[in-house]
Amino acid sequence: MGEDFNFKLEKTDQLARLGKIETAHGTIETPVFMPVGTAGTVKGVSNDELENLGAQIILGNTYHLYLRPGMEILESAHGLHKFMNWKGPILTDSGGYQVFSLSQGREGKSLVKITDQGAEFSSYKDGSKHMFTPEKVVDIQFSIGSDIMMPLDWCPSAEASDSEVEEAVDMTTLWFERAFRHYDSRTPLYGHKPALFAIVQGGTVPKLREKSFRALSRFDVAGFAIGGVANAGESKTKQQAALDATLPLLPEDKPRYLMGVGEPEDLLNGIAAGIDMFDCVSPTRLGRHGVAYTHKGKITLKNTSFRADFDPLDTNCKCYTCQNHTRAYLAHLLRENELLGASLMSIHNLHFLVNLVDRAREAIKRSQFTQFKDEFLQTYLTK
């Protein structure tokens, strides 16, 4: 595991967990929602704004950062922290999901070539050919200067057959063995060594989830991620089935990361099941399209009913957007395609999710998480 990484489980409330992760760039209180900074920025939100809304850690995307600005630039900058001037922890994914999802030919056919060596793919930017091996993905994340890194994995589609899912599990295991050996041999860059998580795959098939975990648990990893739960087209039922098959397998003394899942109800249900870490692009993506989270559910500011609505987005919210601007003003900015509109909406949505998980942590401290979850969802999911 990482030389500058430590996880301590501090309290449980039924299955909900309260913990702390120590990294070279600061402490993370769990459970935690992590904003996604795909290309070295959380879209439309400055670092100061991220700190003000309470973000403890952000994500970087290995695939996108590898393509641009590239490893030479990031190494010259002494890592992503200094390049983007972010002082907190950074988690980076493996880029595996983007390799498979962004390398599509005509009629949606994948152009990725999978071998024991790794994944050969075409850049979605210029069509150039590239090869991700388990070792190369580790090296890229060392160059980025990650605090927590993910290994190369094969994430099958939501429609994959059981045999295809098993093939992905076997390949992910093979790749991880090589990634771990290579990671273990690497010396720290920029003064610290990242922590390496393992990614449990297996779709919704319990025996495949168990097969994946048993193979990966042989290694002294810092934590476990649950993959293959946020694929395009994945239903809530399938997500829950994957969680139910995976969580009972995971050790209590290591953090559990549910990859790519972050709607309010998913966060609370995940925390209730024992998840510690979440990420999702939804808050900024929805914000750019004029959709806001509120304690009474989502609202779409492009609807005409908000053009003369001079209330804040959410009367319960203390974010910068809600304290300074009205729904009418935000609706105007969005109709005019003003960049400020997308930025203000993103700030609110991120604050909403970060604050929701903050409140969940406080409820766990009081041993009242189930009550908090039920009361929130009763209002949020009522249309």
Pairing of strands 291-294, 277-280: unpaired
For the chain, the C-alpha Rg in angstroms (whole number) is 20
Tell me the DSSP string of 106-143: GGG-B--EE-SS-EEEE-TTT--EEEE-HHHHHHHHHH
* Euclidean distance between CA atoms 73 and 83, whole angstroms: 9
What stretch of H or E contains 360?
helix 339-365
Q: What share of the chain is helix, strand, coil (3-state, %, to 5)?
A: 45, 20, 40
- Catalytic residue among 13, 276, 279, 314, which? 279
Q: Which 3 state secondary structure label does DSSP give 192? A: strand
Cβ-contact 195, 23 below 8 angstroms: yes
Does the annotation count 126 as an active-site position?
no
Query: Would you say 313 and 299 are in contact if contact means Cβ atoms under 8 Å apart?
Result: yes
Largest Cα–Cα distance in the chain? 61
Q: 10 Å Cβ neighbour count for 356?
A: 19
Dist. CA 74–CA 261, nearest whole Å: 28
Cβ atoms of residues 200 and 246 within 8 Å: yes
Q: Which of 207, 134, 102, 109 is nearest to 165 (CA)?
A: 207
Query: Considering 13, 93, 147, 266, which one is annotated as catalytic?
Result: 93
* Catalytic residue list contains 48: no
What is the token pair recorded at 186? Answer: 């690497």
Three-state secondary structure call for residue 126: coil
Q: Catalogue the active-site residues.
A: 93, 279
